[in-house]
Structure 1
């Protein structure tokens, strides 16, 4: 099953607008006042007054929306295009900052946490508008190539802040190697919008980043969200990930099983992770009682004709019964049961994070990292996420108003 969002309008709709109206709609939803005040020069500082921080912020967001490759190209387009200048807050007939001025501002921006707060505020606004639900979330990563020249592994400093070599499998199972970073996103499955993100060197294993990302998500939003389902692919199939989601966050992990080279299912289970009896027959699921999952003898229920009968496993007329505390071994005995229709329905929603990445790369500028250092790479990712969420808010608000009119 391939889940498609039908009740919401996606960012793709706003891309059809003309440049001026598109940028105006996106920038109108972004409150940069707090960040601008933080980055504004003190009133008693010496030297030329310069440009207001707002115009730099809007220009950097416009750079992502218009898929402008470099700061140098941004400056050229601002000079040549009065519509772009107007949308970003510059005087239509006035001057624009130089490339070096933009670079200095980007350096200041990378040392501020207020840009991230703008991102979180937009997420909360989208939730208040019922665009974001937050009950079902998906987690995955995508590759980002480094702007820095590739280095041999032996010359890389592994301190968590430098790009390095990574490898992932594409949709066809082929290995892809690159030098750079990974963007880890926690995504809302309803809206297919990012809720939180982390940047790591490319070599970081996806599974180890799930819990830091979830922890950061709850710290950033406090009691705003309480997800029920956490969908992830087999890279996150780690026992401690299941247990932490269940016991600490009271959620339900929906994670694909990773056999890790084994040629048979775990002992006592068949290929679909159904418990089997000593005769090799599939036990029948008989409900959940608190933390316990109950399974009964299929012969006692008339589901099979075991040559040994019921007495082979139990002397009870009820037949053999297996009770499993799923919280003690959630990787094998999850709830809902792995590979049932209910489980598959929730797992299919995991593709929402893949479409989130697709929009960030196809309609925006995520795949075009042009800055060095993990802080600036994070700024680049957040700017793209801000544009994606703001544009989605704008198009849904506009459509709602037109329906109400």
Structure 2
């Protein structure tokens, strides 16, 4: 009898336990370093000659995140003290160790280019092409991280000199007021407008106009109390099963989570061939009609926690918007017809022996089109077992947020401006996805070797 040996699971932890040379090679090979080198290399022959090994600088800059080296100063010290580490970073014996100022200039060049975003998309696309991303459910959420500097002192607002007129406005005053408000709304920056203003805006503009300067942010903690911080937010769309970051967005800490969702959704729809994706799951902070509309335009389904917002109860429906019978028993969700976008509900089991059932007062079946109200009617239906199982998978993005903070130094922002802090965020997301891809490639190779071994026997 042939003994079949099961291949062991190879993940990021096993990857990071490898020897440094093998580990660096596996992770860095997933990134197109030539593309980054050409993007930041000096283009002109004029000026002072370039004496630094830029290729080694780029590799060492990446390895700083892999090895969790907290500062550039510590990186330089490691390069000076550890000869083998310096060789692993791509420096030659004759190369001098770059200074802090040289690394600062490297960060400046990276901040003036979108090469890190393009490299991130390239790594993610490679994972899709190689079959490592086949997620049916995608989870979206945001996490905060603090800026390096403390918040500046708040400026005192000047009181208005002209007192407001009290009482009801006249018809002419109200019309003028509405006109002024509409004009004010039209002149606001894109991310200060209502979320529906983003629906028809191109993706490039959505990403270009995201506010990036550190600001005060507020979020309710597990105890229901407001938690304040000064800094930034990382907005992520993560594959629920693969746990790859599919899209990422960096913003000021004051940006509402919901206002970053459409940029993430459009990014997945336009830049990644995610043919397996069917569901987008988000928490109650994303319960806005334009987000449901964007997901519907993508041909996918929304599994978003409902935020009641002081809305009145619907007569004839329960809290999950399922129809109820005359005695207020909820109809049971049965199925969804994708062709007609219709939810089917069947008669409650309590109605089996109800005398009203035979009198035609209660229907046997209810059918409701989700387009009647995309926010209330989702597929699968709210409250159903299928809906709950999909929503549970939203924890994948929370796990990735924790990984980025604990193992990839997301919290360790060393730059004062938002533009340079974005380089830090882009590096963290890129290294994480490159590590995932490297681990999956090694796992696939091990499985292939195991299959070949079993075939020989």
Q: Where does the alignment leave 5 or more consecutive residues of structure 1 unmatched?
A: 1-5
Alignment CA distance shift 1:326-1:218 (3 Å): closer
Q: Which residue of 1 aligns with 2:294?
A: 244
How far apart in 2 are the matches of 1:331 and 1:197?
25
Alignment CA distance shift 1:241-1:18 (3 Å): same
Alignment CA distance shift 1:18-1:54 (3 Å): same
1:291 aligns with 2:292: no
How far apart in 1 are the matches of 2:123 and 2:388?
31
How far apart in 2 are the matches of 1:322 and 1:209?
36
Alignment CA distance shift 1:287-1:128 (3 Å): closer
TM-fit CA distance, 1:91: 1.8
Does the 8 Å contact 1:9/1:392 carry over to 2? Answer: no
Q: Which residue of 2 aligns with 1:257?
A: 306
What is the aligned residue count?
Answer: 391
How far apart in 1 are the matches of 2:384 and 2:23?
44
TM-score by length of 1: 0.87
Q: Where does the alignment leave 5 or more consecutive residues of structure 2 unmatched?
A: 1-6, 158-188, 193-209, 450-457
TM-score by length of 2: 0.78
How far apart in 2 are the matches of 1:164 and 1:185?
19
1:292-318 alpha-carbon deviations (Å, 9 max, x no partner): 2233544xx77344464454736xxxx
Does the 8 Å contact 2:212/2:250 carry over to 1? Answer: no
Question: Larger % of helix: which?
Answer: 2
CA RMSD of aligned residues (A): 2.8
Following TM superposition, the consecutive aligned residue runs of length 4 or more in structure 1 with deviations greater than 6 angstroms are 155-159
Does the 8 Å contact 2:344/2:366 carry over to 1? Answer: yes
How far apart in 2 are the matches of 1:19 and 1:90?
15
TM-fit CA distance, 1:179: 0.3
Does the 8 Å contact 1:185/1:198 carry over to 2? Answer: yes
Alignment CA distance shift 1:240-1:310 (3 Å): farther
Does the 8 Å contact 1:40/1:52 carry over to 2? Answer: no
Does the 8 Å contact 1:134/1:226 carry over to 2? Answer: yes
Matches within 5 A, 1:183-262: 183-221=234-272, 223=273, 225=275, 227-246=277-296, 248-260=297-309
1:359-384 alpha-carbon deviations (Å, 9 max, x no partner): 21222121111112222222211211
How far apart in 2 are the matches of 1:381 and 1:82?
29
How far apart in 2 are the matches of 1:283 and 1:399?
47
SS at match of 1:73: helix
How far apart in 1 are the matches of 2:259 and 2:141?
12
SS at match of 1:303: helix
Alignment CA distance shift 1:136-1:308 (3 Å): closer
Alignment CA distance shift 1:364-1:192 (3 Å): same
1:279 pairs, out of 295, 319, 327, with 327
Q: Which residue of 2 aligns with 1:383?
A: 427
Does the 8 Å contact 1:26/1:394 carry over to 2? Answer: yes
